[in-house]
Amino acid sequence: MAIVACYTDTPEGRAAVARAHQESTRLGEELVVVNIDGNGSGDGDETSGLDLAGSGEGTSRVRVVPRSPSIHDAADLVLQTQQDTNATLIVLGLRRRSRVGKLIMGSHAQRILIEADCPVLTLKAV
């Protein structure tokens, strides 16, 4: 079992990973960080700026899933990772968008919320 965190190099993405790390440590589950805005190089360094250091006993295992060149849609990558890891929770950060912005642009978060087979925790960076 795992907790999937959706990472982007934004305050929202970092907040999502931090919260997912808390939950995975609390529950003793693996943390799977899905890099949804990386370059797909597969080297795992796209998240090197994150502080995932544990706070001692009970610290979760962390695995990074880089952006895959074969999966072009971020929502597909997150949903596929959730199925592959049998995740019990997906954590993603949201940014504020206007009503018009929500109408014009498609929303990866909306797809994840609707199609995920597990609970989805959304949060905004403070």
Query: Per-residue pLDDT tens for 22-31?
Result: 999 999 999 9
**How far, in Å, CA of 54 to CA of 92, rounded?**
20
Is there a contact between 28 and 60 (Cβ–Cβ < 8 Å)? yes
pTM equals 0.81
With a CB cutoff of 8 Å and minimum separation 6, the contacts of 103 are none
- Banded model confidence at residue 44, pLDDT cuts 50, 70, 90: very low
Is there a contact between 46 and 67 (Cβ–Cβ < 8 Å)? yes
Residue 68 DSSP symbol = P
The single-letter code of the amino acid at 84 is: D
